[in-house]
Protein backbone atom coordinates (compact mmCIF):
# COMPACT_ATOMS: atom_id res chain seq x y z
CA UNK A 1 0.00 0.00 0.00
CA UNK A 2 1.12 3.59 -0.51
CA UNK A 3 3.37 2.77 -3.48
CA UNK A 4 2.13 5.80 -5.41
CA UNK A 5 1.54 9.39 -4.32
CA UNK A 6 -2.24 9.80 -4.07
CA UNK A 7 -4.02 12.70 -5.71
CA UNK A 8 -3.91 15.94 -3.66
CA UNK A 9 -2.32 14.06 -0.81
CA UNK A 10 -1.36 17.04 1.37
CA UNK A 11 -4.60 18.96 0.77
CA UNK A 12 -6.71 15.87 1.44
CA UNK A 13 -4.95 14.99 4.65
CA UNK A 14 -5.04 18.60 5.84
CA UNK A 15 -8.80 18.70 5.25
CA UNK A 16 -9.34 15.40 7.08
CA UNK A 17 -7.25 16.62 10.06
CA UNK A 18 -6.77 13.06 11.26
CA UNK A 19 -6.92 12.61 15.03
CA UNK A 20 -4.78 9.70 16.23
CA UNK A 21 -7.70 8.08 18.06
CA UNK A 22 -10.32 8.91 15.42
CA UNK A 23 -12.41 6.73 13.12
CA UNK A 24 -12.13 7.50 9.41
CA UNK A 25 -13.79 6.04 6.37
CA UNK A 26 -12.14 5.87 2.96
CA UNK A 27 -15.08 5.09 0.66
CA UNK A 28 -12.92 4.71 -2.47
CA UNK A 29 -9.94 2.65 -1.34
CA UNK A 30 -8.46 2.05 -4.81
CA UNK A 31 -4.95 0.80 -4.12
CA UNK A 32 -4.81 2.40 -0.70
CA UNK A 33 -2.74 5.49 -1.38
CA UNK A 34 -4.85 7.81 0.74
CA UNK A 35 -5.66 5.02 3.19
CA UNK A 36 -1.95 4.52 3.84
CA UNK A 37 -1.53 8.20 4.59
CA UNK A 38 -4.46 8.13 7.03
CA UNK A 39 -3.04 5.04 8.75
CA UNK A 40 0.31 6.75 9.13
CA UNK A 41 -1.44 9.49 11.13
CA UNK A 42 -3.61 7.20 13.26
CA UNK A 43 -2.46 5.92 16.62
CA UNK A 44 -3.00 2.38 17.95
CA UNK A 45 -6.60 3.12 19.00
CA UNK A 46 -7.61 4.78 15.74
CA UNK A 47 -9.66 2.95 13.11
CA UNK A 48 -9.82 3.06 9.34
CA UNK A 49 -12.88 1.72 7.55
CA UNK A 50 -12.44 1.19 3.81
CA UNK A 51 -14.88 0.47 1.02
CA UNK A 52 -14.62 0.00 -2.73
CA UNK A 53 -16.84 -1.46 -5.43
CA UNK A 54 -13.90 -2.95 -7.29
CA UNK A 55 -13.10 -6.58 -6.35
CA UNK A 56 -9.40 -6.06 -7.09
CA UNK A 57 -9.27 -3.00 -4.84
CA UNK A 58 -11.00 -4.94 -2.07
CA UNK A 59 -8.52 -7.79 -2.43
CA UNK A 60 -5.76 -5.27 -1.67
CA UNK A 61 -7.83 -3.86 1.21
CA UNK A 62 -8.22 -7.35 2.66
CA UNK A 63 -4.44 -7.80 2.61
CA UNK A 64 -4.09 -4.46 4.36
CA UNK A 65 -6.64 -5.47 7.02
CA UNK A 66 -4.82 -8.76 7.58
CA UNK A 67 -1.62 -6.82 8.31
CA UNK A 68 -3.18 -4.04 10.38
CA UNK A 69 -5.91 -4.63 12.96
CA UNK A 70 -6.99 -0.97 12.81
CA UNK A 71 -8.38 -1.59 9.30
CA UNK A 72 -11.82 -2.99 8.42
CA UNK A 73 -13.07 -3.34 4.87
CA UNK A 74 -16.32 -3.84 3.00
CA UNK A 75 -16.90 -4.64 -0.66
CA UNK A 76 -19.73 -2.31 -1.55
CA UNK A 77 -20.61 1.15 -2.77
CA UNK A 78 -19.95 4.01 -0.37
CA UNK A 79 -23.62 4.80 -0.90
CA UNK A 80 -24.28 1.98 1.59
CA UNK A 81 -21.85 3.18 4.24
CA UNK A 82 -24.63 3.86 6.73
CA UNK A 83 -25.70 0.20 6.46
CA UNK A 84 -22.32 -0.98 7.68
CA UNK A 85 -22.32 -1.86 11.38
CA UNK A 86 -18.83 -0.40 11.72
CA UNK A 87 -20.18 3.11 11.07
CA UNK A 88 -23.09 2.92 13.53
CA UNK A 89 -21.23 4.87 16.24
CA UNK A 90 -20.29 7.55 13.69
CA UNK A 91 -17.03 8.48 12.03
CA UNK A 92 -14.74 11.49 12.35
CA UNK A 93 -14.17 11.93 8.65
CA UNK A 94 -15.04 10.47 5.24
CA UNK A 95 -12.83 10.56 2.17
CA UNK A 96 -14.22 9.99 -1.33
CA UNK A 97 -11.69 10.14 -4.16
CA UNK A 98 -14.13 9.90 -7.04
CA UNK A 99 -13.17 8.57 -10.44
CA UNK A 100 -11.45 5.61 -12.00
CA UNK A 101 -8.18 4.30 -10.65
CA UNK A 102 -5.13 3.81 -12.86
CA UNK A 103 -5.25 0.00 -12.45
CA UNK A 104 -8.77 0.17 -13.92
CA UNK A 105 -7.70 2.23 -16.94
CA UNK A 106 -4.51 0.20 -17.37
CA UNK A 107 -6.39 -3.09 -17.80
CA UNK A 108 -8.03 -3.14 -21.24
CA UNK A 109 -10.54 -5.79 -20.21
CA UNK A 110 -12.09 -3.41 -17.67
CA UNK A 111 -13.37 -1.32 -20.56
CA UNK A 112 -12.18 2.10 -19.35
CA UNK A 113 -9.18 2.48 -21.66
CA UNK A 114 -9.08 4.81 -24.67
CA UNK A 115 -5.57 3.59 -25.52
CA UNK A 116 -6.03 -0.16 -25.60
CA UNK A 117 -8.82 -2.21 -27.07
CA UNK A 118 -10.80 -4.37 -24.69
CA UNK A 119 -14.32 -5.55 -23.98
CA UNK A 120 -16.57 -2.60 -23.15
CA UNK A 121 -17.22 -3.62 -19.55
CA UNK A 122 -16.98 -0.32 -17.63
CA UNK A 123 -18.27 -1.70 -14.33
CA UNK A 124 -16.61 -0.47 -11.15
CA UNK A 125 -17.85 -3.71 -9.60
CA UNK A 126 -17.17 -6.34 -12.23
CA UNK A 127 -18.62 -9.05 -9.97
CA UNK A 128 -22.24 -7.97 -10.41
CA UNK A 129 -24.63 -6.18 -12.71
CA UNK A 130 -24.35 -5.95 -16.48
CA UNK A 131 -21.48 -4.67 -18.55
CA UNK A 132 -21.76 -1.62 -20.79
CA UNK A 133 -21.56 -3.95 -23.81
CA UNK A 134 -24.57 -5.94 -22.55
CA UNK A 135 -26.50 -2.76 -21.85
CA UNK A 136 -25.78 -1.31 -25.29
CA UNK A 137 -26.94 -4.54 -26.89
CA UNK A 138 -30.35 -4.34 -25.21
CA UNK A 139 -30.97 -0.59 -24.77
CA UNK A 140 -33.03 1.45 -27.19
CA UNK A 141 -31.54 4.33 -29.14
CA UNK A 142 -33.37 6.92 -27.06
CA UNK A 143 -32.21 5.34 -23.79
CA UNK A 144 -28.58 5.30 -24.94
CA UNK A 145 -28.84 8.93 -26.04
CA UNK A 146 -30.44 9.97 -22.74
CA UNK A 147 -27.70 8.29 -20.72
CA UNK A 148 -24.95 9.91 -22.82
CA UNK A 149 -26.65 13.29 -22.53
CA UNK A 150 -27.57 13.15 -18.83
CA UNK A 151 -24.56 11.43 -17.33
CA UNK A 152 -21.92 12.21 -19.96
CA UNK A 153 -23.12 15.75 -20.75
CA UNK A 154 -22.52 14.73 -24.37
CA UNK A 155 -24.02 17.28 -26.76
CA UNK A 156 -23.95 14.83 -29.65
CA UNK A 157 -25.76 12.13 -27.70
CA UNK A 158 -28.42 11.52 -30.35
CA UNK A 159 -25.87 11.24 -33.08
CA UNK A 160 -23.70 8.79 -31.19
CA UNK A 161 -26.68 6.67 -30.12
CA UNK A 162 -27.97 6.66 -33.69
CA UNK A 163 -24.73 5.33 -35.10
CA UNK A 164 -24.52 2.64 -32.46
CA UNK A 165 -28.01 1.41 -33.16
CA UNK A 166 -27.92 1.59 -36.94
CA UNK A 167 -24.38 0.64 -37.73
CA UNK A 168 -22.72 -0.97 -34.77
CA UNK A 169 -25.35 -3.06 -33.04
CA UNK A 170 -23.65 -6.14 -31.65
CA UNK A 171 -20.26 -4.68 -32.56
CA UNK A 172 -20.05 -1.70 -30.19
CA UNK A 173 -18.76 -4.01 -27.52
CA UNK A 174 -15.10 -3.00 -27.53
CA UNK A 175 -13.49 0.19 -26.28
CA UNK A 176 -11.84 1.06 -29.60
CA UNK A 177 -15.18 0.95 -31.43
CA UNK A 178 -17.02 2.87 -28.71
CA UNK A 179 -14.25 5.46 -28.41
CA UNK A 180 -14.39 5.96 -32.15
CA UNK A 181 -18.05 6.91 -31.96
CA UNK A 182 -17.42 10.56 -31.25
CA UNK A 183 -17.76 13.32 -33.78
CA UNK A 184 -17.53 17.04 -34.26
CA UNK A 185 -15.10 19.56 -32.84
CA UNK A 186 -12.70 18.45 -30.20
CA UNK A 187 -13.47 14.77 -30.58
CA UNK A 188 -12.47 12.03 -32.95
CA UNK A 189 -14.41 11.58 -36.13
CA UNK A 190 -16.96 8.84 -36.32
CA UNK A 191 -15.35 5.52 -36.89
CA UNK A 192 -17.33 2.32 -36.91
CA UNK A 193 -15.21 -0.58 -38.12
CA UNK A 194 -13.15 1.68 -40.32
CA UNK A 195 -15.96 3.85 -41.72
CA UNK A 196 -16.19 7.59 -41.05
CA UNK A 197 -18.83 10.29 -40.83
CA UNK A 198 -18.40 11.11 -44.51
CA UNK A 199 -21.07 8.48 -45.07
CA UNK A 200 -24.28 10.30 -46.11
CA UNK A 201 -26.56 7.71 -44.54
CA UNK A 202 -24.86 8.18 -41.16
CA UNK A 203 -25.07 11.95 -41.34
CA UNK A 204 -28.79 11.89 -42.11
CA UNK A 205 -29.54 9.60 -39.20
CA UNK A 206 -27.47 11.73 -36.88
CA UNK A 207 -29.22 14.90 -37.93
CA UNK A 208 -32.69 13.52 -37.27
CA UNK A 209 -31.60 12.29 -33.84
CA UNK A 210 -30.01 15.56 -32.77
CA UNK A 211 -33.10 17.57 -33.53
CA UNK A 212 -34.99 15.71 -30.82
CA UNK A 213 -32.83 16.33 -27.76
CA UNK A 214 -29.10 16.44 -27.28
C1 LIG B 1 -9.47 7.37 -7.98
S2 LIG B 1 -9.65 5.75 -7.34
C3 LIG B 1 -9.22 5.92 -5.66
C4 LIG B 1 -7.73 5.91 -5.43
C5 LIG B 1 -7.37 5.89 -3.96
N6 LIG B 1 -7.76 7.10 -3.27
C7 LIG B 1 -5.89 5.66 -3.79
O8 LIG B 1 -5.18 6.55 -3.27
O9 LIG B 1 -5.40 4.58 -4.19
C10 LIG B 1 -11.40 5.61 -7.25
C11 LIG B 1 -11.89 4.28 -6.68
O12 LIG B 1 -13.26 4.46 -6.37
C13 LIG B 1 -13.93 3.25 -6.60
N14 LIG B 1 -15.35 3.57 -6.71
C15 LIG B 1 -15.99 4.20 -7.70
N16 LIG B 1 -17.28 4.36 -7.41
C17 LIG B 1 -17.46 3.81 -6.17
C18 LIG B 1 -18.58 3.67 -5.30
N19 LIG B 1 -19.77 4.12 -5.63
N20 LIG B 1 -18.40 3.07 -4.11
C21 LIG B 1 -17.17 2.61 -3.75
N22 LIG B 1 -16.08 2.70 -4.55
C23 LIG B 1 -16.23 3.30 -5.73
C24 LIG B 1 -13.27 2.70 -7.84
O25 LIG B 1 -13.45 1.30 -7.91
C26 LIG B 1 -11.81 3.09 -7.62
O27 LIG B 1 -11.10 2.05 -7.01
The CATH number assigned to the domain holding 79 equals: 3.40.50.150
Predicted structure pTM score: 0.79
11, 26, 29, 32: which to mutate for ligand 1, most atoms within 8 A of CB?
Answer: 29
Task: Report the domain count for the chain.
Answer: 2
**Same-domain check for residues 120 and 203:** yes
The pLDDT, as a whole number, for residue 162 is: 87
pLDDT in tens, 84-130: 999 999 999 999 999 899 999 999 989 998 888 888 999 999 999 99
Is the CA virtual torsion 95, 3, 99, 62 positive or negative? negative
Domain-ending residue, one of 41, 74, 99 = 99
Q: Does 2 map to a domain?
A: no
**Same-domain check for residues 91 and 167:** no
d(CA 176, CA 46): 46
Q: Does 106 map to a domain?
A: no
Q: Is the CB of 126 under 6 A from ligand 1?
A: no
d(CA 39, CA 52): 17
Amino acid sequence: MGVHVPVLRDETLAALAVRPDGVYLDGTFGRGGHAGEILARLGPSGRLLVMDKDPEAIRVAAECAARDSRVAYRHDSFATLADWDATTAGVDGVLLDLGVSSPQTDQPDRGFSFQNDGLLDMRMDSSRGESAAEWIARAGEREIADVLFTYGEEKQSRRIAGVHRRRARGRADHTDRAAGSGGGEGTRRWRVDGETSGDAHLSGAAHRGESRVG
